[in-house]
Amino acid sequence: MYAIVRTGGKQYQVATGERLRVEKITGEVGDTVELADVLMIADGDDVKVGQPFLDGIRVSARIVEQAKAKKVMVFKKKRRKGYRVKRGHRQLYTALEITAISS
């Protein structure tokens, strides 16, 4: 059994017991969160697709980690003008462990 959920402007395929990184969600490590934007659920040959969401379907997850991703370097340059800018960015993320898909 798996589900397609939307969080942080992205869509993820999740199954019970999986771990995934999503955009930052408020909460402490160990807290339980519910992902209510379920787009699709599949259990063998039984597939339900929402228009756009499925009502009454919830995906429960536990927050495993709140951290920053690896640094991404941003470098801008304009030739012959002496313009150079170097910046780094570390995106915040939340690591979730899927505990249940309730239908």
Give the other-Cβ count within 10 Å of 4's Cβ.
Answer: 18
Residue 103 has pLDDT above 80, yes or no: no
Of 73-77, 81-85, 99-103, give the lowest mean pLDDT range: 99-103
pTM for the whole thing?
0.85
What is the arithmetic mean of pLDDT over 81-102?
97
Higher pLDDT, 103 or 66: 66
Per-residue pLDDT, averaged over 32-57, amounts to 93
Domain hosting residue 62, numbered range: 2-102
Q: Is residue 1 over pLDDT 80?
A: yes
* C-beta separation of 46 from 85 below 8 A: no
Q: How far is CA 27 from the centre of its chain?
A: 14
Count of domains forming the chain: 1
In the block, tokens 């599949």 appear at 42
Strands, sheet with 46-49, edge to edge from the N-terminal-most edge strand = 10-15, 2-7, 38-43, 46-49
